[in-house]
Amino acid sequence: MTSSSKKSVLIIGGGAVGAIAALNLEVGGLASVTLVLRSNFNAVNEHGFDIKSCDHGRVNSWKPSVVRNSIPDIAKESLPSYDYIVLCTKNIPDVPPTVVDLVTPALPETNTHTTLILLQNGLHIYRPFLETHPQTPVLSGISMIGSEEIFPGQIIQDEGDKLIIGAFPNPNIDPPTSAALEFVNIYKNGGKTDCKLSEDVLHDRWRKLVYNACLNPICAILGLDTGRLRLSADGEVVEHLVRPAMWEIVEAARANGVVLDEDVVQKMIDADPLQSYLNPSMLADVKKGNLIEHENLLGEPLREGKKAGVMMPKIEMLYYMAKGIQWRTMEVRGMVEIPPKNV
Amino acid sequence: MTSSSKKSVLIIGGGAVGAIAALNLEVGGLASVTLVLRSNFNAVNEHGFDIKSCDHGRVNSWKPSVVRNSIPDIAKESLPSYDYIVLCTKNIPDVPPTVVDLVTPALPETNTHTTLILLQNGLHIYRPFLETHPQTPVLSGISMIGSEEIFPGQIIQDEGDKLIIGAFPNPNIDPPTSAALEFVNIYKNGGKTDCKLSEDVLHDRWRKLVYNACLNPICAILGLDTGRLRLSADGEVVEHLVRPAMWEIVEAARANGVVLDEDVVQKMIDADPLQSYLNPSMLADVKKGNLIEHENLLGEPLREGKKAGVMMPKIEMLYYMAKGIQWRTMEVRGMVEIPPKNV
């Protein structure tokens, strides 16, 4: 296959997830990747990525075809449309810019060509695009990777990259199933990763929430990794907080027409090897002083569950605690002002 | 009054609360204080306390009559019985030594003379003494002081010392009302502080729990002082977490025969001046890497409320979160061992 016949892929966000996606797509040989970086741009632009990966081995001083420190404005820059745009940033609707604002300059006006892939967590993250880009095919990407950027441009991936791709619902267009299938083939062409087509995007997203709306925020709030959380207080924290919160998600999913397997709760509790002592994303974010994705991981399933008549007292409490923690981060970063201290 | 006619008072714990109590008792002139210090013994023994107090002004290089770095063993040391022993340590029954273990060497065998004053927070903290020291008069001391030890021996007291003294129930002896009254008079004799007799110890203790089982752990868990907690997320954290948790305590109290004033919830939310940005005790403890008093502040009201048939979902969740945080502190301090990390 010649370079010109490769698919053009723009990846926005080159952290622990985006960098491995970029590497994997280029290793496969069917895609030419432009990667948009922010905080690690200088490090990567000068020295490339250093990656230690259970899928790809050691990869030093590696760069994708193009690295940039801004999102392309394809009209202003007279660039051709990308075939795919993969969003690998955090998705934090409570703090601007929104993902729609972020991606809009890289899409053609009245786009039908470029397929958008939201490689992000949470429920209903496609909905804002239905309003602003009703004709744009939007795919769901659920990543099960274990990967961390320990220094700018230095990435350790210690759990295999498993990606599930599927079409988000859109009443305005035919479901972009062929685009989904094509992207799966491009992604798995290198033979190093597990990428497959989703049979049911909504099911997959609710399923991942069993981990992401429960273990993830509880670890972040208590400052405990998943191994320590399971060990803490002789397992009482798991039994009295994690497990009942997970059942609330299972019930909310069921009330929304999604039946999860009976063993999903235990599987998610045991998902991370205990002695790996892994930091789930929210805990990693809190430790780094970053904002957290609680609106899509907690707020949205809470609202959908309550709308369907499910009592979710544990998830609700986690949601408001996460709001408090988000506010704390914003205050530390100077994003909110408070009255001066009276001395 | 001559020195010999003074009452002998042993204060165990010379932190922010115990040091001010010691100062106030000696200023009053009716007591001779022996103060047991631990972490700040060397600093205080060499240089005395430096205290900046809204009640007492600036007091430099001050020491009570006796400072010690161990609890007196009155039998071994052939010391006379103290008239009063005031316990100002943290009360953490989940981690040895218990307060009973702590105080026993300083009490005469089969004591009836020495009156014990538990100047500590939480519910039913007298109960262990009913078993081990059934004849010992035990008083409740509820302190409303705002005081912090910023460095060893350096104390800033910025909220007035208000102390409420009363007799804990004891089926084996007449209620030690005269001892309570005497101690109130000794304590307030300096004219600098507000010390009064409790009309209803159980009522006072449940009332303080409205603050201590709700605001206090929520601040500790979220890492927010009371001012920031009230400001956070436009007040949503207060409305969705603090206020409903407080109502659970009010209901648990009512089910246990204690009727609190209707306005207690709002009063406790507003208890600390917003712009003081005060750290409640649990938050201060977490920040210092100290253990927290969640068993007496959360566990005991939760058990009593549930026993009386009150649903306490918010308090229950706070309790298990506090357990997780206690375990985290213990793990950091090497008090629990965990399996090694697999690399």
pLDDT in tens, B45-77: 999 999 999 999 999 999 999 999 999 999 999
Helical residues (DSSP H) of chain A, grouped into ranges:
16-28, 41-47, 99-103, 127-132, 177-188, 201-210, 216-222, 226-231, 236-237, 243-255, 264-269, 281-288, 294, 300-307, 313-332
What would the mean pLDDT of B102-118 be, rounded to a whole number? Answer: 95
Distance from CA of B196 to the nearest CA of A (A): 29
What would the mean pLDDT of A113-139 be, rounded to a whole number? Answer: 96
Inspect the interface and report whether the beta carbons of B316 and A240 lie closer than 8 Å.
Answer: yes
Tell me the chain B residues in contact with residue A323 when contact means C-beta distances shorter than 8 Å. Answer: 232-233, 236-237
Label residue A91 by pLDDT band (50, 70, 90): very high
> Is residue A340 assigned to a domain?
no
Q: Which among A199, A234, A263 is the end of a domain?
A: A199
Are B255 and B177 found together in one domain?
no
Using CB atoms, which residue from A221, A320, A326 is nearest to B321? A221
Are B161 and B45 found together in one domain?
yes
Q: Which among A199, A233, A257 is the end of a domain?
A: A199
What is chain A's mean pLDDT, rounded? Answer: 95
pLDDT value of residue B125: 97
pLDDT of A220 > 70? The answer is yes
pLDDT value of residue B5: 86
- The tokens describing A60, both together, are 């030093």
Tell me the chain A residues in contact with residue B242 when contact means C-beta distances shorter than 8 Å. Answer: none
Chain B residue whose CA is closest to A218: B321
Are B181 and B241 found together in one domain?
no
pLDDT in tens, B250-302: 999 999 999 999 999 999 999 999 999 999 999 999 999 999 999 999 999 99
CA-to-CA distance for A126 and A131, rounded, in angstroms?
10
pLDDT value of residue B146: 84
Are B23 and B160 found together in one domain?
yes
Are B11 and B108 found together in one domain?
yes
CA-to-CA distance for A140 and A197, rounded, in angstroms?
10
Q: In chain B, how long is the greatest CA-to-CA distance?
A: 71
DSSP class per residue in A179-218: HHHHHHHHHHTTSSSEEEE-S-HHHHHHHHHHIIIIIHHH
Inspect the interface and report whether the beta carbons of B222 and A324 lie closer than 8 Å.
Answer: yes
Label residue A266 by pLDDT band (50, 70, 90): very high
pLDDT of B304 > 80? The answer is yes
Of all residues in chain B, the percent with pLDDT exceeding 70 is 99
- State the CATH number of the domain containing residue A264: 1.10.1040.10
pLDDT in tens, A178-199: 999 999 999 999 899 999 999 8
Are B178 and B300 found together in one domain?
no
What would the mean pLDDT of B93-110 be, rounded to a whole number? Answer: 95
Q: In this structure, what is the dihedral angle of CA atoms B43, B48, B49, B50, given to the nearest 10 degrees?
A: -100
What letter does residue B223 receive in the DSSP assignment?
Answer: T
Helical residues (DSSP H) of chain B, grouped into ranges:
16-28, 41-47, 99-103, 127-132, 177-188, 201-210, 216-222, 226-231, 236-237, 243-255, 264-269, 281-288, 294, 300-307, 313-332
Instruction: For residue B288, count other CB atoms closer than 10 A to its CB.
Output: 11
What would the mean pLDDT of A109-118 be, rounded to a whole number? Answer: 94
Map residue A94 onto helix, strand or coil: coil
Are A195 and A208 found together in one domain?
no
Are A170 and A232 found together in one domain?
no
The position carrying tokens 């408090």 is A324
> Is residue B127 assigned to a domain?
yes
pLDDT of B1 > 60? The answer is no
Map residue B28 onto helix, strand or coil: helix
Chain A residue whose CA is closest to B230: A324
Label residue A144 by pLDDT band (50, 70, 90): confident
Q: Which among B151, B169, B199 is the end of a domain?
A: B199
pLDDT value of residue A5: 87
> Is residue A86 assigned to a domain?
yes
> Is residue B339 assigned to a domain?
no
pLDDT of B154 > 80? The answer is yes
pLDDT value of residue A148: 86
pLDDT value of residue A68: 98
| Residue B7 domain boundaries | 3-199
> Is residue A149 assigned to a domain?
yes
> Is residue A77 assigned to a domain?
yes
Distance from CA of B7 to the nearest CA of A (A): 37
pLDDT value of residue B148: 86
Are B18 and B156 found together in one domain?
yes
Are A288 and A328 found together in one domain?
yes
What would the mean pLDDT of B182-190 be, rounded to a whole number? Answer: 95
> Is residue A163 assigned to a domain?
yes
Inspect the interface and report whether the beta carbons of B320 and A228 lie closer than 8 Å.
Answer: no
What is chain B's mean pLDDT, rounded? Answer: 95
Q: Bridge partners of B116?
A: B85, B138
Give Cα separations from B19 to A298, B37, B43, B72, B291 (angstroms): 46, 9, 13, 18, 20
Q: Bridge partners of A196?
A: A164
What would the mean pLDDT of A54-77 be, rounded to a whole number? Answer: 97
pLDDT value of residue A3: 53
> Is residue B342 assigned to a domain?
no
pLDDT in tens, A236-260: 999 999 999 999 999 999 999 999 9
Q: Bridge partners of A149?
A: A155
Chain A interface, Cβ < 8 Å to B = 218, 221-224, 227-229, 231-233, 236-237, 240-241, 273-277, 313-314, 316-317, 320-321, 323-328, 331, 336, 338-342
pLDDT value of residue B4: 62
**Count: domains in chain B:** 2
- State the CATH number of the domain containing residue A72: 3.40.50.720
pLDDT of B33 > 70? The answer is yes
Helical residues (DSSP H) of A166-312, grouped into ranges:
177-188, 201-210, 216-222, 226-231, 236-237, 243-255, 264-269, 281-288, 294, 300-307
From B37-41, B143-147, B234-238, the region with the lowest mean pLDDT: B143-147
Distance from CA of A20 to the nearest CA of B (A): 21
pLDDT value of residue B200: 94
pLDDT value of residue A158: 87
pLDDT of A4 > 70? The answer is no
Are A208 and A193 found together in one domain?
no
Are B179 and B216 found together in one domain?
no
pLDDT in tens, A159-184: 899 999 999 999 999 999 999 999 99
What would the mean pLDDT of B229-248 be, rounded to a whole number? Answer: 98
